[in-house]
Structure 1
Amino acid sequence: MDTLTRRRFLIAGGITGGAALAAGATTLGLGDILRTAGDRDPAAKTLVMVTLYGGNDGLNTVVPYEDPAYAAARAGMTYEPEALLGLGDGVALNPGLPGLHRLFGENRLAVIRGVGYPRPNRSHFQSMDIWQTAQPDRPGTTGWLGRWLDSAGGDPRLAVSFEPVLPPLLAGATSAGATVPGGTLALPKSAGPAVLKALGTPAPGESPSQARAAACFADLVRVRDLMAQVGGETPADDDSDQPATATGGAAAPLDRQLALVTRCIEAGAATRVYSVSLGGFDLHAGGRDVQQAQLARLDGPLTAFADRMSGRGVVVAVYSEFGRRVRANASDGTDHGTASDVFLLGDGVRGGLHGEPPSLTDLDDGDLKHTVDFRDIYASLLTGVLGADPDRILGGWTGHLDGVLGTMGR
């Protein structure tokens, strides 16, 4: 089969991006994946990355309601104090996050404030590339967890995404994670077993790169089958029931993505990293109520997942490509900003407020100045969850976020 046809089939179906095709994933059988459950180290921990696409408004997520500069900048977007979910120190969670508020009260949610990077970029796509490659000066072609995958042997079963395309986050230099959009490949109803076999089988005379594309597709089909077998389901032809947003995010609801992660973890799959996402946070008008509704779509599935995964060595990180400007615009929305909040939750996470809250008056051209570099968080996740050397993966970065990840007993 012509590789361009195969590539067009994959991308048009929302199945994978070019990085996965170029990385040369190994062809795997379903039995190979299932057998990894017995090989998994019982002490191995799992990282789940939750990406909020569109630039979530950090100031209306973790609300500094006692700061007079907040009300002065956002007169049409503020909440009455009694509607907010208090965290102490004059800050509170958005009313859409009651589950995360409960976890905070149980010392299971870490709220890291003022997270960003030097010379911030306000483009959705460029800033997300920076966050996912962990290379603020010049985003490269590999993600920070893709480089971890390279260092861990390159097995695509170790890093799985439930997003419509493989995020740069999981693309390494010599390997790439597997992508299973919505837990299933969105295939045309006419694509029966013979068609799938042809798409995943190198044709005689194909170049090595074309053969790698076929191997990648075969791997994705088999990982799709694994998800279905773990859940006791028959793979569907099309599992997407809501569109991805223009700035990114999986088509499948977050609860469905996290349900599949749950099935994999409880089945003992060897996967160490999962990537899921929720879009819809680019709110330039009427932002307060819509954001609250979006945060509620995050809160319910995420807290249910955290409760079920308790004691299994799972850590979840929630981030967005940037926050929003301090001052609301004329449409009671917010425009692209800079620093924001990162949430960490799960086993071994020391809950509470972490990081220096950025000033709402000492601004950089109307934007918050970051007080925590996101690479400090990544370094802590690499050492505390994946047992990896951050110096190697983060290009010599020596920072670390102290006091957030403790001992993760199982």
Structure 2
Amino acid sequence: MDTLTRRRFLVASGVVGASALAAGATGYRLSDLLATSGDRDPRARTLVLVTLYGGNDGLNTVIPYADPAYHDARPELAYTGEEVKRLDDEVGLNPALAGLHRLHGEGRLAVVRGVGYPKPDRSHFRSMDIWQTAEPERPGNTGWLGRWLDRAGGDPRLAVSFEPAMPPLLAGERSAGAAVPAAERKASRVLPQATLAEFAAAAPEDTPARARAAACFADLRSVEEMIREVRDSEAAAEQEPDGEGAPATATGGSRTPLDAQLDLVAQCVEAEVSTRVFSVSLGGFDTHADEKQLQEVLLGQVDRAVSGFADRMARTEAGRKVVVAVYSEFGRRVRANASDGTDHGTASNVLLLGSGVRGGLYGEAPSLTDLDDGDLRFTTDFRDIYATLLARVLDTDPGAVLGGWRGRLDGVL
């Protein structure tokens, strides 16, 4: 897969001009953020944007388990009502989302369904450009949060990315957010590979219980290897003389674990730094084959990181003013493909969570039978969500940032 470095992607693609980079998009460290501790208005809210790169399968994230059309379209991938984490008598969350299910029960998780935009595009790059610029007709060269940053004074530390490359959404016309490197945490390997392989191998003398345990361990190692291959293929970058080799593709995402990125966000929030927007990410969601296990593992990472972050934020006054938004560039097609996976689709879900969020289901669930060339028809324009976040979290006029857009997502914040 072709990958691009930060500077090549941001400048050569035209998503942001060199003038924005010159305004200070790079070269910041965590200490630079912590130096602003105490500089913010204590009443101000904070937005944390979590990007799931690759096109997460929304139908197997927020699952319409009671709809026969769901089971007919993907018999091998579908979850039953007994397997899902139920939200009501029709919809449930993926089994891997136990933490988010708990937050929903506590009224701290809002699920916005059918989110998309007119004339959807199934290209990773094009769709992510649309989401990050908030300009569906013709993506421009500024991100929606970059335009907010221009209006907020242009200090890069107001909008921070803990990803390997600054996402275009933080690039404005005159300024850009700060790209702060996050050190990757690596777990030590306690046992050698040969020993782990022995655990996964069944022996003739095994009892049925031991044979099942070996089979489960073998499955776990297989999924772990799939994830490693996905990450390696999507994160391998070309090294340039300036040393920038981090991926900046629409299917990339950060190599640093999501929980490590959110730990840095938590430190900043607890220190009450001036930053109003944080961007973090996780890649690997382009599940064209063998989707079910892989997506469960990836969603499990999201669940542990995001629900743990939400619980940590609930303990402090500053943390209770944090709103988290989780999105992907598109969902997947309704019908499964021949490889036990799903192909690029359109409308999907956006998750909003935090102590200040009014939990529940929002937006109309798209029909699984009235389709647009096999894809879901969107029922909620993503700009309604952006406008709500701009107005209710970032205290700014959405119309000035979103080209006069007047839609809102009522009641969630």
* Bin of the TM-score, shorter chain as denominator length: 0.7 to 0.9
Following superposition, the deviation at residue 28 of structure 1 comes to 8.1
- 1:38 Cα deviation from its structure 2 partner: 2.6
Cα deviation for residue 402 of structure 1 reads: 0.2
Corresponding position of 2:62: 62
**Equivalent residue number for residue 300 of structure 2:** 296
1:79 aligns with 2:76: no
Q: CA deviation at 1:146?
A: 0.3
SS at match of 1:48: strand
Deviations 1:62-99 (A, max 9, x none): 00010000000001101232111000041100001000
Match of 1:285 among 289, 294, 301: 289
Are 2:87 and 2:93, in contact at CA under 8 Å, matched by a contact in 1? Answer: yes
Equivalent residue for 2:329?
Answer: 321
Tell me which residue corresponds to 1:167: 167
Contact 1:162 1:183 in 2 (8 A): no
Match of 1:178 in 2: 178
Secondary structure of 1:296's counterpart equals helix
Hey, what does 2:147 align to over in structure 1? 147
Equivalent position amino acid for 2:393 in 1 = V
List per-residue Cα deviations over 1:293-314 (Å, max 9, x = no partner). Answer: 1100100010010011124200
**Alpha-carbon displacement from aligned partner over 1:352-390 (angstroms, at most 9, x marks no partner):** 111000000000000000000000000000011000100
Instruction: Percent identity, please.
Output: 66
1:253 has 2:251 as partner: no
Shift of 1:285: 0.7
- Please give the per-residue CA displacement for 1:182-231, whole angstroms capped at 9, x wherever unaligned: 258xxxxxxxxxxxxxxxxxxxxxxxxxxxxxxxxxxxxxxxxxxxxxxx
- Asked if 1:308 is matched to 2:312, the reply is yes
In structure 2, the CA distance between the partners of 1:12 and 1:393, relative to structure 1 (3 Å rule), is closer
Report the 3-state secondary structure (helix = DSSP H, G, I; strand = E; otherwise coil) of the residue aligned with 2:169.
Answer: helix
Give 3-state SS (helix, strand or coil) of 1:88's partner: coil
RMSD: 2.3
**Cα shift at 1:248:** 1.5
Determine if the alignment matches structure 1 residue 369 to structure 2 residue 377.
Answer: yes
Q: Hey, what does 1:263 align to over in structure 2?
A: 267
Match of 2:110 in 1: 110
Instruction: Answer yes or no: is the 8 Å Cα contact 2:34–2:268 preserved in 1.
Output: no
- Report the count of equivalent residues: 339
Label 1:68 to 1:106 Cα distance change in 2 as closer, same or farther (>3 A).
same
Aligned with residue 394 of structure 1, among 381, 386, 402: 402
**Which structure 1 residue ranges, 5 or more long, are not aligned?**
1-10, 185-239, 406-410
| Offset from partner CA, 1:308-337 (integer Å, 9 cap, x none) | 112420000000000000000011100000
- By how many angstroms is 1:243 displaced? 8.2
2:137 is matched with: 137
Between the aligned partners of 1:114 and 1:143, the Cα distance in structure 2 is: 23
SS at match of 1:82: coil
Q: Which amino acid aligns with 1:82?
A: E
Normalising by structure 2, what TM-score?
0.78
Q: CA deviation at 1:29?
A: 10
Name the amino acid aligned to 1:25. A
Q: CA deviation at 1:25?
A: 2.1
**Is the Cα contact below 8 Å between 2:55 and 2:124 reproduced in 1?**
yes
* Native 8 Å contact 2:28 2:179 kept in 1: no
Unaligned 5+ residue runs, structure 2? 185-243
Q: Does 1:334 align with 2:342?
A: yes
Q: Deviations over 1:125-158 (max 9, x none)?
A: 1000000000000000100000000000000010
Deviation at 1:22, TM superposition (A): 3.0
How many angstroms apart in 2 are the aligned matches of 1:106 and 1:355?
20
Counterpart of 1:359? 367
1:31–1:53 CA distance, 2 compared to 1 (3 A): closer
Q: Distance in 2 between matches of 1:177 and 1:366?
A: 38
CA contact (8 A) 1:182 1:250 kept: no
CA distance in 2, matches of 1:32, 1:256: 18
Contact 1:147 1:171 in 2 (8 A): yes
Taking the aligned partners of 1:259 and 1:29, their CA distance within structure 2 comes to: 15
